[in-house]
Amino acid sequence: MNSKIIIAIDAMGGENAPSKNIEGVALFLKKNKNKYDFFFNLFGDEMSIKSELDKHNISNNFYKIFPSSTVVSDEETPLTAIKNSKDSSMWNSINSQIVSNSNITLSAGNTGVLFVVSRMLLKTIESVSKPALAGLWPNEKNMNVVLDLGANVECDDKNLIDFSEMGAALYKALFPEDTPKVALLNIGSEEIKGTETLKKSYSKLKEISKYGDFEFNGFIEGSKITHGESNVIVTDGFTGNIALKTAEGTAKFITDSLKKSLTSTFLAKISVLFSFFALKRFKEKLDPRKFNGAIFLGLKGPVVKSHGSTDSIGFYYSIDLCYRIIKGDLMNKIKSNLSHINNESD
Amino acid sequence: MNSKIIIAIDAMGGENAPSKNIEGVALFLKKNKNKYDFFFNLFGDEMSIKSELDKHNISNNFYKIFPSSTVVSDEETPLTAIKNSKDSSMWNSINSQIVSNSNITLSAGNTGVLFVVSRMLLKTIESVSKPALAGLWPNEKNMNVVLDLGANVECDDKNLIDFSEMGAALYKALFPEDTPKVALLNIGSEEIKGTETLKKSYSKLKEISKYGDFEFNGFIEGSKITHGESNVIVTDGFTGNIALKTAEGTAKFITDSLKKSLTSTFLAKISVLFSFFALKRFKEKLDPRKFNGAIFLGLKGPVVKSHGSTDSIGFYYSIDLCYRIIKGDLMNKIKSNLSHINNESD
């Protein structure tokens, strides 16, 4: 059993839990029919989890239920979370990386609480100054890893270097065939642009890139995030959060406008019949559920946050992300990459 | 003649100058056939400007040419600009607000140089700490004014308050029927989110909004910029630049993907015939040329920067923007709004 990838799932976190969570598990099983290298530790209300599992005829070779009596509410604040969330499905799913055999934790619950409790229980890796929140972002060639998406409002150059090495490790774990290409998000691509922190990080990354963990592409502007020449986009949590949400908002604004246009006239409505499959492919390619799952990097165990409002398909994608993270040996890759920073600062 | 709106145009700035610049003027004249309340001071090479004017049969009731012998190159840096750009078409078009009768200056030339020379010649308004670069951004209801888009990498609360008052003045000048609704770009909408600078600005703006220059909507997330509940989005130049470029990149990424999908199969290609007008309207609505023109706010005279690579239609829109700025009495509105900050800090 130890050779299996064991994913701890907070079955009670997010909208429509545990129904969508377990349906996500069922989808994962369906898509990985001939694989037996994974196992789920499921945390939450035993009765309702069991009833959902039975709906999908999921064999008990694939899971173990760990009954947890409480659920972290969306209203819980990070300040009181440590006191109030003990023994909740979220808490126990994180803690199972320590007290049980879980390799990774997935929750669609309260983000702030998940972050605080994960940090407390799993602890930050010694040499890491601040853990970060990384996400996936589509680009023309494949996908970017982008971090920090909001864990740290203010960051110094040490933080940005850590993020670069950890982001490169995540990219390599997820896309083993590909080379991580790190770029720092900035307001121009010239070396003299931006804040002092960015300029310092620039010269340090140029130096550290000699270890071969990643190629360093220098500064990148917001307009080029989707180009795919760089695939690990590094920034502070404030800027990353603004960029991510602005991109999401813009995408929604445009696709909504398109929808309105394509149903505005009779002729346009007919056209949709002809372009049905093309539009479907278009929609599928940019389906945000495919990018569901933000990864806390810098803790001694990996934790993935699913969007609370996603459906079973989105939840399936975050389970798949967990699977690929462990399969890609993320934690050892992070360790190896971070050792190069330490060498450098010796 | 003093009752006319006099627009100084750097006819040599940007790609395909002076052809696109003068064609933009011609378009403006065509769209404002029965109006005679405007006049153009045109700066640059007399011969080539004259030849372009004649192509479009533009009557000399509408313009005066001010011969300028040099043009600021794209490679010129802000550091050496003051020395090298003297007597260029850009320099003279700005200076004409002082030595001649121009009310506003428009250039599609080198942004950094335009900013530095404008600041030096026109001077910053006494009570303004830092001038800012404002732009237009589509939203579901109409348009936002967003600032700062990159003039100031780092901003304190005094800067953000100035930007709010000046942005509100710009919004009111452009959309006199509407109420400016200011919001601060942040990573969450709760009062406790974000940097100390943002929190300080929040409470000050709440206070200052009592003067009625604008409604204050608190913090806004990147995902809601296009919603239209707020229409003056205030942020520092670093964040604003990243947000703007990320939005532009996302928009391009999505429309490119759509284009690819709609030409991927024979059936899809047919569909485009049926949806031609609907897609055209969609394209028109989001046409970036409509939002062409960034406004330097905080100087004693208004300066508008057109995209260098835009065409004559884009340039027309920035001429129209200049016209509306003066028609809307921007400079007096800024003066009035700023006086409320000074009252407050007494």
Query: Residue A346 pLDDT > 70, yes or no?
Result: no
Q: Tell me B227's DSSP state.
A: G
Query: Residue A263 pLDDT > 80, yes or no?
Result: no
CA angle A119, A122, A126 (to 5 degrees): 85
- Characterize B119-142 residue by residue with b for buried, 16 or more Cβ atoms within 10 angstroms of its Cβ, and e for exposed: bebbeebeebbbbbbbbbbbbeee
Average pLDDT over chain A reads 92
State the Cα–Cα distance between residues A308 and A313, nearest whole angstrom. Answer: 13
Spatial contact of A228 and A141, defined as CB atoms under 8 Å apart: yes
CB-CB under 8 Å, A267 with B275: yes
Tell me, what's the pLDDT at B346?
43
Name the token pair of B6: 């006099």
Residue type, A3: S
* Strand pairing report for A38-44 and A63-67: parallel
pLDDT, one tens digit per residue, over A204-232 is: 999 999 999 999 999 999 999 999 999 99
Beta-carbon count within 10 A of B255 CB: 15
What's the whole-number mean pLDDT along residues A97-111? 97
CB-CB under 8 Å, B258 with A282: yes
Residue A96 to chain B, least CA–CA distance (Å): 31
Residue scoring higher pLDDT (A121 or A264): A121
Spatial contact of A183 and B242, defined as CB atoms under 8 Å apart: no
Q: Tell me B18's DSSP state.
A: T
Tell me, what's the pLDDT at A104?
98
Contacts of A196 in chain B (CB under 8 A): none
List the A232-234 sheet strands across, edge first. Answer: A63-67, A38-44, A5-10, A104-107, A303-305, A294-297, A132-138, A143-147, A232-234, A181-185, A215-220
Q: Which of A150, A246, A257 sits opposite B243 (nearest CB)?
A: A246
**Successive 10-residue mean pLDDT values, chain B, 346 residues:** 86 96 98 94 97 96 95 87 90 97 97 94 95 94 94 95 98 97 94 92 96 97 96 97 94 85 72 69 80 95 96 97 98 96 61
pLDDT, one tens digit per residue, over A165-192 is: 999 999 999 999 999 999 999 998 888 8
Spatial contact of B233 and A253, defined as CB atoms under 8 Å apart: no
CB-CB under 8 Å, B245 with A246: no
How far apart, in Å, do the first and last CA atoms of chain A sit?
40
Query: Residue A333 pLDDT > 90, yes or no?
Result: yes
Spatial contact of A42 and A126, defined as CB atoms under 8 Å apart: no
Name the residue of chain A whose CA is nearest to B258's CA: A282
Nearest Cα to Cα of residue B247 among A290, A288, A252: A252
Residue B45 to chain A, least CA–CA distance (Å): 32
Q: Number of Cβ pairs closer than 8 Å across A and B?
A: 186
Tell me, what's the pLDDT at A262?
75
Tell me, what's the pLDDT at B273?
67
A18 — pLDDT class (breaks 50, 70, 90):
very high
Tell me, what's the pLDDT at A1?
42
Query: Residue A345 pLDDT > 60, yes or no?
Result: no
Name the token pair of A285: 């390619």
CB-CB under 8 Å, A253 with B267: no
Tell me, what's the pLDDT at A321?
98
Block residue for tokens 């659920």: A71
Name the token pair of B257: 């993907």
Lowest mean pLDDT among A1-5, A266-270, B110-114: A266-270
Query: Residue A285 pLDDT > 80, yes or no?
Result: no
CB-CB under 8 Å, B194 with A238: yes
For chain B, domains (ranges, CATH) are 1-122 (3.40.718.10), 126-293+329-346 (3.40.718.10)
Go through chain A and tell me how many residues it has: 346
- 3-class DSSP state of B327: helix
E strands, chain B, are 5-10, 38-44, 63-67, 104-107, 132-138, 143-147, 181-185, 215-220, 232-234, 294-297, 303-305
Name the token pair of A253: 């604004």
Phi, psi of B96 (to 5 degrees): -65, -15
State the Cα–Cα distance between residues A196 and B132, nearest whole angstrom. Answer: 20
Nearest Cα to Cα of residue A95 among A297, A299, A294, A295: A299
Residue A259 to chain B, least CA–CA distance (Å): 9
Query: Residue A90 pLDDT > 90, yes or no?
Result: yes
What's the whole-number mean pLDDT along residues A50-61? 96
CB-CB under 8 Å, A248 with B223: yes
CB-CB under 8 Å, B249 with A268: no
Name the residue of chain A whose CA is nearest to B193's CA: A153
Tell me, what's the pLDDT at A272?
67
Tell me, what's the pLDDT at B7?
98
Residues paired with residue A294 on neighbouring β-strands, in sequence order: A305
Residue A266 to chain B, least CA–CA distance (Å): 9
Q: Is the ipTM of this complex over 0.90?
A: no
Residue scoring higher pLDDT (B287 or A328): A328
DSSP letter string over A40-81? EEEEE-HHHHHHHHHHTT--TTSEEEEE--B---TT--HHHH
Interface probe, candidates A110, A266, A275, chain B, greatest B C-beta count within 10 A: A275
Tell me, what's the pLDDT at A344?
56
Beta-carbon count within 10 A of A298 CB: 25
Phi-psi region of A344 (alpha: psi -120 to 50; beta: other; left: phi over 0): alpha
